[in-house]
Every structure is written in C-alpha cells, then in structure tokens.
Amino acid sequence: MAEIPAKTFWQLEVCNACRYCEGYCAVFPALERRRRFTPADVVYLANLCHDCRACFYACMYAPPHEFGVNIPRALAEVRERTYAEYALPRVVAGLARRNAWLLLTVAVASLAFFGLIAAFSPRGLFQAQTGPGAFYTVVPYLAMVLPALLLWLYAIGVMLAGAFAFAKDIGATRTQSGSWRAALAAAGEALGLRYLRGGTGGGCYYPSERTSNTRLVLHMLVFYGFISAFIATIAAAIMQDVFDQLPPYPLLSVPVVLGSVGGAVMIVGATGLLYLKWRSDRAPADAQTLALDWLFLISLDVVSLTGMLLLVLRETPAMGVLLVVHLATVLAL
C-alpha cells in the first residue's frame, strides 16, 4: 500500500472533530464513520475526493492558520501515490511516477514503429491515398490492430488487477464488492458526475473561490466525447469485419459522425480543462498530481486534434503522416 504521511492522518482527525464540511461531498460522510484512520481508510477517502475544494475555502484551519489543514492537497498526494502503486508490473510503478518520460518513450517508440512500416509502403508515405482500404496502404491492418489489441489487453489487465488490489487494501469484503445495488448506485453517480456539482449546489470552487459548474460541463464533454469516439471505433469494426466495408467511411456514416462529434467535444472539453488548470489556485493543489493532469489532458487533446485533422485531410498527401502521428499518440495515451 502507498506510504501515507503522518500529517495526512492528523489533518483528517482535525476534520473529523470539526465536521463543518460534512455536507460538501462523499468524503465527509465516509470520514465520520471512523474515529481513527488506518492507511486503508485514507486510500479510500483519497479516491473519493474529486478536488472540488469547497472544504479548503470553508476551513478555518486552512493556511495561513498554524494547523495548515489542506485536505484537497493531502488527499491528492495519496491519490497520486496509489496510481503508481497499482501499476503492473512493479517496474512500471517507478516509471509511472515519471509520467512525462514514460509518455515520451512510448510516443517515440510508437512513431518509430509506425513510421518505419509506413516508409516501406509500396505507395509511399507522402502520396494521396483514396478509396476503400486507403489507410491500410500506408499502415497494414495487422500492424494497426495487433499493437492496439495487446496494449488494450494489458490496460484491461492492469485496471482489473488494480481494482482487486484496491479492494483488498481498503478491506472490502466479497459481499460488499459484489453488491449489484452498490455497483449501480456508483455507476449512476459516476455517469452523472455527481460529486463535481459541489455540496452547495452551485458547482465546485474551481478554478477560484467562487462556485462554478464550468468544470462539471467540461468533464462531461470529455467523458461523453470519449464514449462517442469509442462507440465509433466499435461501429467501424462492425462495418469492416461484418459487412466487409473498408475504411475510410463516408462523412455521414455512423463511425464518422460519432467519431467527429466525440473528437470535437473532447477538444473543447480538454482545452477548457487545461485553461481551468492554468487559472486554478495552486494552494490546494498537489504539484505532482497537477503535472499528471496537464500531461493527460494535453495527450487527450493531441489525440483528438490529430484524429480530426486526419478526417479533414484524409484525401490529401498529408494523410500518411497524420495517420502515423495519430496512431502513435493513441498508443501513447
């Protein structure tokens, strides 16, 4: 389990004694169920926190008070540690703490892989390709699908292993973990982004001390834009493997419409969240978590932008280069 600073336990005990913030989010009702906190309790609370910051601005013991209570930062530090802790294999845990280098390494390796394959394409990387199967004249089907499939299986495995490790660390029983009612309730809260609405009903205190629903809206754009793009990928696979229709597809086809909508709203959402990060108050933020957020949002933006450019310029000589860059950024993400 991730190492937790002693000051984090102390801050939570101060909050538990005060209870002024008990209506703000899911953290505080859960916190009030304990008198003393174990490392498992803190890991659980850290992953309940949505960085809404209402508690920080309401707290009479926040800096510059000598107690220096800063729950958003304390929980963000723990949360960031858990991301690396649950990475597999364990050698990746160290790399996960150096996110920029890991992303850069994967991106460069992916660019080199797809670039070399495309360079030996019979029709060349810089020639316009049109008609069914145009993408596969640049990068063959297996070269596209096999790395993506292997990474997808790895990602699913890591997420499942991380979920089981998290459940074990927080002491969840099999009955609790397998409760359909609890799972449905959690899914509803996640899909509705309930805890980005703020305990006051006016939204989160983000990027400043005033409540705003901007962060909620932007998160919804990113989340549902990703879902739309994912469904577009499934639709494209069905059209190709079931109906024998090779890409690229017409502009009004299901994959293109869903992919275009998803990509466009992800660009708006990710760019908007980057702007909010830039304007946000640094006092309740953890520097490592903030860097991770920046890296993820920029990566998501680049993937979406290259995908949209590929759609617009797919019948031009730029298609080959854009396809290679887009595939590399998708694998890196």
| pLDDT per residue as tens digits for the range 60-109 | 999 999 999 999 999 999 998 888 777 666 555 555 556 666 777 778 88
Per-residue pLDDT of the chain (333 residues; tens, 9 = 90+): 667 889 999 999 999 999 999 888 889 999 998 888 999 999 999 999 999 999 999 999 999 999 999 999 999 999 988 887 776 665 555 555 566 667 777 788 888 888 888 888 777 677 888 888 899 999 999 999 998 889 889 888 888 888 888 888 887 665 555 578 878 888 888 888 888 887 666 789 998 888 999 999 999 999 999 999 999 999 999 999 999 999 999 999 999 999 999 999 999 999 999 999 999 999 999 998 898 899 899 999 999 999 999 999 999 999 999 999 999 999 887
> 99 is written with which tokens?
């996110």
The 10s digit of each residue's pLDDT in 276-319 is 999 999 999 999 889 889 989 999 999 999 999 999 999 999 99
Q: Taking the CA of residue 77 as centre, how many other CA atoms within 13 Å lie in the half-sphere pointing to its CB?
A: 13
Q: How far apart are CA 203 and CA 37, in angstroms?
A: 29
Strand partners, 212: 204
Residue that the structure tokens 């797809």 belong to: 114
Determine if the peptide bond prior to 89 is cis (ω within 30°): yes
Q: How far apart are CA 191 and CA 168, in angstroms?
A: 25
What does pTM read for this prediction? 0.89
**Which of 234-245 are b and which e, b meaning 16 or more Cβ less than 10 Å from the residue's Cβ?**
ebbeebbeeeee
Q: Give pairs for 132-136: CB < 8 Å, separation 24+.
A: 132/245, 132/246, 132/247, 133/246, 133/247, 134/247, 134/248, 134/314, 134/319, 135/247, 135/248, 135/319, 135/323, 136/246
